[in-house]
Structure 1
Amino acid sequence: MEDLKGNSVLITGGLGFTGSNLARRMLDEGADVTLLDRVREEKLPVVDGISDEVDIVDGDVRDEELIQEQVPSADIVYHLAAKSSRPAANENPQKNLNINCGGPLNVLEAATSCDTPPRVVYSSTLATVGNVSKTD
């Protein structure tokens, strides 16, 4: 892994399981870490032990202005914010589309508008496609 000491890392969806664990790793590597997520009480326990070491921005990847403010200060952006494909999430497909398609678009547009664009890492999980059964 490259030396991340002193690099600024922005993690969208940073209060989720994957984002919070990535934040711990980035801190171990010496990075300055900002987590962008919609802050809710039930999400905060995942950052126990690191909440004093990270900046937490309460926001949504659908907020173009907020993303335009946050992305330019990062050297690396890990875009993890997404709406899962669980049945409850499918009750509002337009919201899911706005988060899962509009969010990455906002991050990429903000990155490409920078004089020195940050590296953007987009990650996904199998949860985005739901339960897939193996066929013979």
Structure 2
Amino acid sequence: MRKMNEKKTLVTGGTGFIGSHLVEELINRGENVKCIVREDYFKDRISSLKALGVEIVYGDILNKESIKNAMNNVETVYHLAAIARPMSILEEEYFKVNVTGTRNILDVCNDAEIKKIVYTSSISAVGPTRDGNPVDENTLCVPIDTYGRSKLESENVVREFFEKYKIPIVVVRCWLGCSIC
């Protein structure tokens, strides 16, 4: 068995599809992982995380105090928590969770002097390509739905945070394809 790192890695969104796989990989690499999760959210998935040895911290990314409680002894933060695709969600909720939640995470990371941050966005922030060419960093982003607009706005928050504090942040635009959506 690998020796666990003393410093911890915090994952938001660890009960989600991508987040749960990230947590498994981090554990396999010997990381000491903790996840901030809502108490009312996917209790079976929380149990699965606990079974992997993940430290669970109950909180909400909309509450800075609960985020602060999760930051003790954390070196790296992977921020994946977001509202993804429930079409019945109001536009304001997307922006509240995806943008304000991201801003809260970054503010607390700055206060806690976190040095490694990975923010998970979505290809939906880009929208469809107009000319059929591959997407790169220079592609004009024209999201076509509320989710995509909220993720693009979150990326703007991340960019502003980087420019202000010079803390390196990696932005990953994930694509999660499925045959039945």
* Paired residue secondary structure (1:87): coil
**Local SS of the residue matching 2:67:** helix
Tell me the C-alpha RMSD between the 2 structures: 2.7
Secondary structure (helix, strand or coil) at the match of 1:44 reads helix
Distance in 2 separating the partners of 1:28 and 1:73: 20
Whole-angstrom CA distance in 1 between matches of 2:60 and 2:46: 18
Matches within 5 A, 1:1-136: 5-40=5-40, 42=42, 44-45=44-45, 48=48, 50-52=49-51, 53-89=53-89, 92-114=90-112, 116-126=113-123, 128-129=124-125, 132=128, 135=131
Contact 2:10 2:35 in 1 (8 A): yes
Aligned equivalents of 1:22, 1:47: Cα separation in 2 = 16
Aligned length: 129
TM-score (norm 1): 0.78
Quick check: which has more Rg, 1 or 2?
2
Which consecutive unaligned segments of at least 5 residues does structure 2 have?
133-181
CA drift at 1:135: 4.9
* Alpha-carbon shift at residue 6 of structure 1 (Å): 3.3
Q: 1:80 to 1:18 in 2, by over 3 A?
A: same
Stretches of structure 1 that go unaligned for 5 or more consecutive residues are none
Tell me which amino acid in the other structure corresponds to 1:77.
Answer: V
Q: Secondary structure at the match of 2:102?
A: helix
Q: Compute the TM-score of the two structures, normalised by the length of structure 2.
A: 0.60
Q: Name which structure has the greater RCO, CA cutoff 8 Å, separation 6+.
A: 1
What CA deviation, in whole Å up to 9, does each residue of 1:27-60 have, x standing for no partner? 1111111111224464624863x42311122321
Percent identity, aligned pairs only? 26
